[in-house]
Structure 1
Amino acid sequence: MKCLPSSLLILAVFPLVVVAKRRRVPFMNCPSTKSSSGLGMVKQARSRIECSVICLNNPECLSASYCKSSDGYTCQLSQMFLAGGCSGLPANGDCTQTFVVYPCENGGTFFHENRTCHCVDGFIGDYCHRRYRDCQETPLGNVLYTIQPFRSDYTFQWKCGPFTSPYTRVSEYASVFNFNYTLTWEQMKQGITPHPGFYFTGPETLHQLTKQGVYDLFIRMIVLGKNSGYVIYKHFRVDSEAEGYACHWKSFTRYYEVPYNSDEYLDGLGALGDSTKSMKGARFGTFDNDVSECAGTHNFAWWYNPLGCTLVTFDPDGLNWPTNRTGTVEIEKIDHTLIGLRNVYWYVEDDLIL
């Protein structure tokens, strides 16, 4: 579990404020008589803010006093932990004491010995101030977690795992499970909860996930008795509902890993290299919110280009994907398909950095 770095501690010194990276950190004076926490180490400082920052960057400092001296102002660092209060401090009219603000949120426990927050399950971050951004942050596999993408009010519950898979599972199709894929826009929007052999996070979830950073979409395909493989859509993203949940990506590639051989699996979303049928910018469609009647024809909610329906199709037994094993392109039944998102990086970090 990620904890508060030893160099980061919130001190209070009102009414001045310092805007840290993406988090506003107030610095406040002790509200009682001016006092000193006792001399531990003395450094020069030009302001109370600078004194507080000096303490933040000293791993042994737990409180600080900004004091007037004969030759200016000094910053007195102390190992005294005030536990969020100022009572019991020795009076000193020439010093302004700063005190530690309890920093851990959402039930986290603060350990002042090493200045870290220990988070309860379900929360993460230096101050336990946020939920998991995606499944790659969760500590365990096969557990239902509440996911909340960065700077989004959108939350969804998803069973992440297994923990050995470094990605967020988006969907699964298995030929052993007979399922009616004729689903409405509202049914698909928020996703289909896991059923044996089929689940789908939904385009709204994909939009919320991919807008917080750069992700690769990869599809693992297994055909019994034949080579299995991966195909990857680099820097994949999904637009908002107002934009039809249109999908975009930077490039397509195959991933080679023994014993998998992806060379036989083609670019399904790119319509086998036919630029007039590329799914880049294609909008999501369902039978009741169709795109050029593609969803009705292919009997499933998917991304469809108004210039021509993708060659990827679905039937009650699952996904059909284009392959080229013998020099001829064929739409082949895939026995088991896993679709996942792996984040390359997030656009921003919301943990405190001074």
Structure 2
Amino acid sequence: AGLSATGLSVPWACSILLCPAPGWPRDCSKLPAGSPSGVYIIQPTGLPPIMVYSEMNGNGGWTVIQRNHRDTPVSWDESWSTYKHGFGNVHTEFWLGTEYIHQITRQKVYQVRFAIWDASNNMKFADYNLFSLGDESQGYQLRLGAHSGTAEDAMASKGTTTMHDNMKFSAKDRDQDTSSGNCATSSGGGWWYSACYSVRLNFKGGMTWEFKQSKTKPGMSWECAWGSLQRLVICSY
């Protein structure tokens, strides 16, 4: 099921229909300063209201588009339609929906942050100063800008066989990668695959963010988990 506001129960002091809201914000960056992190309703241009998790710590106003952990009950091995409309629980682990992500990123120039915690609670992040998705007819093609942060650029700087930037989104029933096989099927979840990945975040049972190999620092993969503050979050601002 998608993450539409309609019919969902939320633990707020007022019901959705009674909350004083002359107009929903178009994304989490439009929430009032000082608002706590949590579930809010936004209304991107041209869409009905949707429920999202807003991360308000730090500089605040981040719209969370994905959250996952190693022991999640969510199955990431989903169809194109399910990925399009979103699935999971917005309070815990979820995918917001490729169509919603596309519509949100049409509104202005967005940046994206990938925040990862390993099993020892070490945190790293990768920021990209441009983030957008094409529409469905374009395969929800991913566009990323310049990288910064403490996690290496595993999304855009790897070789052509594991590149994610400029790739179309693939699901188990819609193969748009550059591999002779279906990366979404073999990798257990939908993603912007080439052939196949250096980053695998839509996966049940452990996630991967690869680091470059060197003589002094061997290559490593971060296994991300949610629980005891060990988690993975992807959010746009």
Q: TM-score of the superposition, structure 1-length normalised?
A: 0.52
RMSD: 2.3
The list of structure 1 runs, each at least 4 consecutive aligned residues, that deviate by more than 4 angstroms after superposition, is: none
Counterpart secondary structure, 1:339? strand
1:134 aligns with 2:134: no
- Tell which has more relative contact order, 1 or 2 (C-alpha 8 A, sep 6+): 2
Q: Distance in 2 between matches of 1:195 and 1:148?
A: 16
1:334 aligns with 2:224: yes
| Corresponding residue number in structure 2 for 1:167 | 62
Residues 1:311 and 1:252: Cα distance change in structure 2 (over 3 Å): same
Q: Deviation per CA, 1:168-210, whole angstroms, max 9, x where unpaired? A: 1111111232432110111110111426641111111111011
Contact 1:173 1:318 in 2 (8 A): no
Counterpart secondary structure, 1:169? strand
Aligned counterparts, 1:189-228, within 5 A: 189-194=84-89, 197-225=92-120, 227-228=122-123
Number of corresponding residues? 202
Aligned counterparts, 1:242-257, within 5 A: 242-254=137-149
Q: Distance in 2 between matches of 1:208 and 1:200?
A: 15
Shift in Å, 1:327: 1.5
Q: Deviation per CA, 1:105-136, whole angstroms, max 9, x where unpaired? A: xxxxxxxxxxxxxxx7333xxxxxx4311022
Contact 1:181 1:300 in 2 (8 A): yes
| Corresponding residue number in structure 2 for 1:320 | 208
Instruction: Work out which of the two has the higher radius of gyration on C-alpha atoms and give 1 or 2.
Output: 1
| Corresponding residue number in structure 1 for 2:7 | none
Shift in Å, 1:284: 0.6
Counterpart secondary structure, 2:29? helix
Q: Distance in 1 between matches of 2:88 and 2:75?
A: 14
Q: Distance in 2 between matches of 1:143 and 1:337?
A: 17
Q: Percentage identity across aligned positions?
A: 21
Residues 1:277 and 1:160: Cα distance change in structure 2 (over 3 Å): closer
Contact 2:171 2:185 in 1 (8 A): yes
Counterpart secondary structure, 1:286? coil
| Corresponding residue number in structure 2 for 1:268 | 154
Counterpart secondary structure, 1:187? helix
Instruction: Tell me the amino acid that sits aligned with residue 121 of structure 1.
Output: P
Shift in Å, 1:296: 0.9
Contact 1:179 1:317 in 2 (8 A): no
Q: Distance in 1 between matches of 2:143 and 2:234?
A: 16
> Mind listing any 5+ residue stretches in structure 2 that lack a counterpart?
1-18, 226-230
Counterpart secondary structure, 1:234? strand
